[in-house]
Structure 1
Amino acid sequence: MKKFGTLSITIFLMVIISCKDSGKKERFLPPSTGGINSLMVVMDSELWKGGIGDKIREHFAAPVLGLPQGEPKFTITQIPPQIFKGAITYSRSVLFVEQDTLSRAHIKTDVYAKPQKIAVIKGETYNDLAGNIDSLAGRAIASFKRVEINEAQRRFTRSLTKEKAFEEEFGISLNVPSLYKVGKHEKNFVWMDIQIPKGTMNIVAYAMPWNSFANDSTFVSDIVKMRDSIGKKYVPGPYEKTFMITEKAFSPYIFPAQIGGKKAAEARGVWEISGYPMAGPFITYIINDKENNRKLVLEGFTFAPSEEKRDYMFELEAILRTVKFNQGS
């Protein structure tokens, strides 16, 4: 009887250890696929051609703010549900819309691949589906954008520049692809750029006094004045007395932002050359760097005449969002 008891205890301990060893294991997921800013929309083709499709396009193919010409937030590919299988399910950003007695609107993470975001919208009637699209669209777009930014950053971090101009001048680090080169480095100003097929992509950085932009009522006009003064001093046009300014016809769009762990303002708009027909989009971050008693300004701008500029600007945003403030800077 004693031997039986000892054997029982031994088996019991082995079962416990076995249970611990066979704990929940992470499921293998293949890497997700797709071009940057591409969105796979999975829904019935008849729904896509009708009002529900219009509602989706209204949100997910809306023009990106701050570009000279209208370009959609996402490049959309629509397929019917029966086609959504195999390698197609590895798409990084997916919107799944289905007519169903169950009314739902939620976002799933890493279902078929990794990283992946799938927004699921279900409803029985047109009003159900349309209402769920309206309620989820903002969160879904933000979720898709985050995963796309992360993917863009992952791609360009394969080969980063060894230039130290930003670190030397401002005590910051940026993950800048190695093809970007320093074009100008002066006191309180750094400019890096890269040649693209029909123009350039550019990153600039400079600092403003901490008490800049103290008046909320003049915030937008103060940003314009700042950009114009910096452009006049550092960003010349093709001829003498020409330089970069903010487009006069339209004020930039302003949004709150969080960059490098600090509060910031994001400005998007169009630049032009004073006295010369050149223009393009810009994105500017004005970062509250209280520790260094300054407003740090990071900006990306593109010159690419007759070319679509959404993805160029998206890459610049992805680069600027990698900023880190070095300790003691």
Structure 2
Amino acid sequence: MKKLSILVFAICLALTSCKEGGSTKEDFTPSSIGQVNSLTVVMSNELWEGKVGDNVRDHFAASVVGIAWNEPIFTLRHLPETVFTGAVRKSRSVLVVQKKDTTNMSYINSNMYARPQNVAVVVGSTEEGIIETLNKQADHIISEFNKTDLKVTQGNFKRSLNKETDIQDKFGVKMDIPSVYNVGKSEDNFVWLDRSIKNGTMNLIVYALPWDSFSNDATFISDIVRKRDSIGKKYIPGPNEGTYMDTEKAFAPSVYPAEIGGKKAAEVRGRWEIYNYSMAGPYVSYIINDKENNRKLVVEGFTFAPAAVKRDFMFELEAIVKTLRFVPKTAE
């Protein structure tokens, strides 16, 4: 009996040691590299310089919605397969396009050479087949690349977070907001945080609207503009007397379904301007269906950065909003 107990103990000890001291592939996978919104495209020079390359650029370097200048969704870097070795294999987002005598197909491998990483592979026997597959799968591939970039960006926020509680106090929500943002205005139904950037600012605002603010689908977009303009006029003054933020009328906002904090929401992308003053820029607004509190909660990010690339600024603001979670208010 004693020998049996010793044997069982020895087996348990061995299993524990293997579990704790054993190594997995994950332990040795290096960290991925590259800026967010960048994409390494691996394909032959022949494909890159022809209609397949044009199709890749049409999808993956399309202009970001809501930004006046043509800023691409991804900054593309092309490499032929023979050069895709060494450190470049650690790129976070990789698209491999190959022409082979095989069935048209596409798939995404996670963490092949680094972590986190997505390697999307599109294969076809003809250029037409490759293009057909890209047309079908590009949106899904872009979404997966964006999800990973968002997670990386949100992870970076945690290094130093803003500790101010105005948003939680007033609205019962929290977000992972970097400490470089500071509350500049805090009123009963409005909080405004901003951070300075070169020659401009990045801004985050939160406010609530009545639950029935958007009761008519036919007038949804015009109602969004009207409500947004009323908030801008009340809370966001321009540099001169009589000036304030409103929505640029020449640029119709684009609306997409979204989910924020576990609740259904509308994502609105467009351009703001200052009434009677030459200032403008992009915004992304999330209108969250908060039925439990009988309200529409609005969280918006907007950027003022003349003559600067705004894509990555707007991506950071989107990443902040998508950390939102509902929590008890700390004050009434």
Aligned to 1:165: 166
Shift of residue 22 of structure 1? 6.0
SS in 1 for 2:306: coil
Asked if the contact 1:43/1:98 (under 8 Å) is kept, the reply is yes
Amino acid at match of 2:58: E
Shift of residue 26 of structure 1? 3.0
Aligned to 1:3: none
SS in 2 for 1:133: helix
- Tell me, in whole angstroms, the C-alpha distance in 1 between the residues paired with 2:43 and 2:119: 13
Matches within 5 A, 1:17-36: 26-27=24-25, 28-36=28-36
Deviations, residues 119-164 of structure 1 (Å, cap 9, x unaligned): 1001111111111111210100000010111111112221111111
What's the C-alpha RMSD, in Å, of the aligned pairs? Answer: 2.2
Aligned to 2:75: 75
Asked if the contact 1:32/1:91 (under 8 Å) is kept, the reply is yes
Structure 2: gaps (5+ residues): none
- Tell me, in whole angstroms, the C-alpha distance in 2 between the residues paired with 1:111 and 1:20: 28
Instruction: Check 1:16–1:90 CA distance in 2 against 1; reply closer, same or farther (3 A cut).
Output: same
- Tell me, in whole angstroms, the C-alpha distance in 2 between the residues paired with 1:186 and 1:14: 65
Instruction: Check 1:97–1:15 CA distance in 2 against 1; reply closer, same or farther (3 A cut).
Output: farther
Amino acid at match of 2:95: L
Matches within 5 A, 1:92-131: 92-102=92-102, 103-131=104-132
- TM-score of the pair, normalised by structure 2: 0.92
SS in 2 for 1:212: helix
Aligned to 1:51: 51
- TM-score of the pair, normalised by structure 1: 0.93
Asked if the contact 2:192/2:204 (under 8 Å) is kept, the reply is yes
Shift of residue 18 of structure 1? 7.0
Structure 1: gaps (5+ residues): 1-5
SS in 2 for 1:295: strand
Aligned to 2:89: 89
Q: Kindly indicate whether residue 195 of structure 2 is the aligned counterpart of residue 197 of structure 1.
A: no
Shift of residue 205 of structure 1? 0.2
Asked if the contact 2:182/2:194 (under 8 Å) is kept, the reply is yes
Shift of residue 308 of structure 1? 1.0
- Tell me, in whole angstroms, the C-alpha distance in 1 between the residues paired with 2:11 and 2:166: 60
Asked if the contact 2:173/2:329 (under 8 Å) is kept, the reply is no
**Equivalent residues, number:** 322
- Tell me, in whole angstroms, the C-alpha distance in 2 between the residues paired with 1:306 and 1:161: 28
- Tell me, in whole angstroms, the C-alpha distance in 2 between the residues paired with 1:32 and 1:135: 27
SS in 1 for 2:214: coil
- Give percent identity, aligned residues only: 50
Aligned to 1:322: 323
Amino acid at match of 2:183: V
Deviations, residues 164-194 of structure 1 (Å, cap 9, x unaligned): 1111111111111101111100010000000
Asked if the contact 1:227/1:246 (under 8 Å) is kept, the reply is yes
- Tell me, in whole angstroms, the C-alpha distance in 1 between the residues paired with 2:40 and 2:234: 45
Instruction: Check 1:20–1:197 CA distance in 2 against 1; reply closer, same or farther (3 A cut).
Output: closer
Aligned to 1:288: 289
Instruction: Check 1:242–1:124 CA distance in 2 against 1; reply closer, same or farther (3 A cut).
Output: same
Aligned to 1:276: 277
